[in-house]
Chains A and B, each alone.
Chain A
Amino acid sequence: MAGARNPTARASAHIVDREAVAHLKQRFAAHNAWGVIALFAVLALLPFLPGFKPWMAGQISLVMVYIVAAQGVSILTGYTGLVTVGHGGFMAIGAYASALMVKHWQVDILVAIIGGAIMAGGVGVLLGLVFLRLAGPFLAIGTLGFAFFVGTIVTNVPLFEGREGISLPKNKALGLELGDVGFYFLALTTFAAVTLFVHSLVRSSVGRALTALRDAEKAAQSCGVNRLFYRMVAFTVSATITGAAGALSGLSVRYVSAEVFADIWYSVDILVACVVGGSAMLMGPIVGGAFVALLPFVLEKLADFSFILKGVVLITVLMFAPAGVCDVLARPVRAWRRRQLERAGAGSGAGSQAGAKVEPLKRQEG
């Protein structure tokens, strides 16, 4: 037996073209990037097309608000595997904090949005410290209670003007007045920024740590991932993003009232957006958020029917596509990519045949 330095090396039974594999992976990443860039390009050009009315800008802004909120939730439910039914509470905090800042301190709305997001994140930290040690169902119930609690507070504490609501003056950003279209671009910028951030997070060591905790908690811990710390990171980041969405929602229509935040519809809606669209993918919250936001708009007069339809769609998705619609749509793409990688030599033999026997060892000569 030769004193093999590399004991399990295989005298290449097939050619591994590492260059080809790396090149392919770059190409796939480029595909993804182009898809997202195309989406934002379309959204950016939309207002300049003929026939575009300012009210459309307002409507699409609200859709983007839902999407951003869903992106926030997806970090928690999709990538970390924790359930929240109470993120509407963070939206409320973002909305009210920013509205009060604008009303009483006349701040630039950029400051207000950031302020609202930070407030929401801060509350997220406090909430997380209490609830994140708990098992899944208890966390869900706790967040549900939180949403109700926030709803009660904003309805009853005078500062928040309850159902009367807070009306806001015209939006001012960097000294300029923003109309509907101007706000649209602000919302679009926020949407783009959040998307970029989520993309960065998922590919980073933090994103890997979160999915590791989700998939195999003990294994993750053995690798040095601090369970509570990373849950807190996920929770706080998600609360901050959803808080920003909340701030945008209020500033978009320049009105914040308890009517919207008193019950749990927001919380439940953005969870549904994630489940239907798919919470562990970049496009998931985008598709899901658009669905949830546009449904009542499309079914204008039949508001109740939109509830029923949402429920039916939700249940159907759970039965046939539990990982979300985007997951199903992405499957053929993933399969195609896997075949391409295999053809370039990555993991052929082992990868293409599940349960293949281990090939006999070929020891290095000498």
Chain B
Amino acid sequence: MFGQQLASGLATGSLYALTAIAVVVVFRNTRTINIAQGDFSMIAAFIALLLLKAGFGYGAALALTVVASILVGVIVERLVMRPIADSDWLTLFTATLGIYYIMHGLAGWIWGRDTKAFPVAFESKPIEIAGIVVSEGHLINMGWAAAIGAVLFAFFRWTKQGVAMRAVTDDPETARLMGIPVRFIVLLTWGMAGFLGAFAGVLLAPIVYVSPQMMDEVLIKGYVAAVFGGLYSIPGAVIGALMIGVAENLAGGYLGSHYKTATAFAMIVVMLALRPQGLFGIQKRRDI
């Protein structure tokens, strides 16, 4: 029983991690707390649902959704974030709040506010690993998350753009002086937010169902996880997300499902009270 809770928790946690990573990347590159990150996922889920209903195969639907989602990220950056790029962080944050409103409104308007089911790509066949019974779905989710993690790792390590992005994270002024196109990197950042959002949305859709408010809870959990990494460290955010997934599953299993969401908040209170700079992140003293 415990093993199952653990596995299930790790699976959902790894999906939360996708949101958490997006939050961290956007924040450290642009000082923006993107409260619309969950909505990137939500819009992606709706688009995927639309494509699936229209007869596209799962693979094609996923691919197209990812592309569309990256596009959404780019549009948001161009139209909204670029014009106010030099503002203080509160203005940037409130702008993403505006995007949150707009996306919720659009989704409700186009698709309606009721909850829809999302077809699962694979059956939830139970598989036994080391004596623990896990569902195939869990493994697939974890697999996807791990794959994306690997892609990101490779991106930051070995591609020109990835290295440039790390430079911008560390020191945007010097990066600009060195000829790194900071504006393009910011565009890339928001595109990445869309990319990660797409996967989070499509993979979580079968679990949280599809509705305009589907990602609201996931968003806050993603943020709590990101705070574990001090809003700067991706590994920290991932570990935080996994911890949240496991903790809330255990809490749900032993205390009752009502207490699942409260777990994340309890965790953040304890953590911020004890170690405000995050468990793993070195909180850079930028003028926040």
Direct contact of A and B (CB under 8 A): yes
Q: Which residues of A contact B (CB under 8 A)?
A: 77, 83, 85, 130-131, 133-138, 140-142, 144-146, 148-149, 152-153, 155-157, 263-264, 268, 271-272, 275, 303-312, 314-315, 318-319, 322
How far, in angstroms, from A53 to B259 measured CA to CA in the complex? 45
B288/A137 in contact, CB under 8 A: yes
A311/B264 in contact, CB under 8 A: no
B94/A271 in contact, CB under 8 A: yes
A308/B224 in contact, CB under 8 A: no
Nearest CB of A to B131, in Å: 34
B272/A308 in contact, CB under 8 A: no
Contact of B223 among A144, A272, A315 (CB under 8 A): A144
A307/B101 in contact, CB under 8 A: yes
Residues of B within 8 A of A157 (CB): 258
B258/A311 in contact, CB under 8 A: no
Nearest CB of B to A250, in Å: 22
6 A-B residue pairs with CB within 8 Å: A130-B273, A137-B288, A263-B216, A271-B97, A312-B102, A319-B84
Contact of B89 among A130, A131, A136 (CB under 8 A): A136
How far, in angstroms, from A81 to B78 measured CA to CA in the complex? 28
Residues of B within 8 A of A272 (CB): 94, 97, 101
Q: From A144, which residue of chain B is reached at the shortest CB distance?
A: B220
How far, in angstroms, from A83 to B35 measured CA to CA in the complex? 14
A141/B33 in contact, CB under 8 A: yes
How far, in angstroms, from A272 to B100 measured CA to CA in the complex? 12
How far, in angstroms, from A272 to B288 measured CA to CA in the complex? 21
B105/A308 in contact, CB under 8 A: yes
Residues of A within 8 A of B109 (CB): 304-305, 308
Contact of A131 among B103, B261, B272 (CB under 8 A): B272
Given contacts A83-B90, A311-B99, contact A133 B80 (CB under 8 A): no
Contact of B268 among A77, A142, A268, A314 (CB under 8 A): A142
Does residue B98 face the partner (Cβ distance < 8 Å to A)? yes
How far, in angstroms, from A134 to B80 measured CA to CA in the complex? 28
Given contacts A156-B258, A315-B99, contact A138 B227 (CB under 8 A): yes
How far, in angstroms, from A318 to B95 measured CA to CA in the complex? 7
Nearest CB of A to B77, in Å: 13
Does residue B4 face the partner (Cβ distance < 8 Å to A)? no
Given contacts A136-B288, A142-B272, A318-B91, contact A148 B104 (CB under 8 A): no
Q: What is the size category of the interface that chain B forms with chain A?
A: 35 or more
Q: Which residues of B contact A (CB under 8 A)?
A: 27, 33, 35, 80, 83-84, 87, 89-91, 93-95, 97-106, 108-109, 113, 213, 216-217, 220, 223-224, 227, 231, 258-259, 261-262, 264-266, 268-269, 272-273, 276, 283, 288
Q: From B226, which residue of chain A is reached at the shortest CB distance?
A: A141
B33/A140 in contact, CB under 8 A: yes
B27/A304 in contact, CB under 8 A: no
Given contacts A138-B227, A140-B93, A148-B217, contact A308 B269 (CB under 8 A): no
Q: From B105, which residue of chain A is reached at the shortest CB distance?
A: A307
B89/A268 in contact, CB under 8 A: no
How far, in angstroms, from A333 to B272 measured CA to CA in the complex? 44
Nearest CB of A to B20, in Å: 12
B227/A141 in contact, CB under 8 A: yes
How far, in angstroms, from A148 to B261 measured CA to CA in the complex? 8
A138/B272 in contact, CB under 8 A: yes
A312/B231 in contact, CB under 8 A: no
B262/A152 in contact, CB under 8 A: yes
Residues of A within 8 A of B262 (CB): 149, 152-153
How far, in angstroms, from A230 to B94 measured CA to CA in the complex? 25
Residues of A within 8 A of B83 (CB): 319
Given contacts A140-B93, A142-B268, contact A312 B87 (CB under 8 A): no
Residues of A within 8 A of B108 (CB): 303-304, 307
A134/B33 in contact, CB under 8 A: no
Residues of B within 8 A of A83 (CB): 90, 93
Nearest CB of A to B218, in Å: 11
Nearest CB of A to B268, in Å: 5
How far, in angstroms, from A307 to B42 measured CA to CA in the complex? 16
How far, in angstroms, from A142 to B288 measured CA to CA in the complex? 16
Residues of B within 8 A of A264 (CB): 216
How far, in angstroms, from A273 to B50 measured CA to CA in the complex? 35
Residues of A within 8 A of B273 (CB): 130
B220/A148 in contact, CB under 8 A: yes
Nearest CB of B to A308, in Å: 4
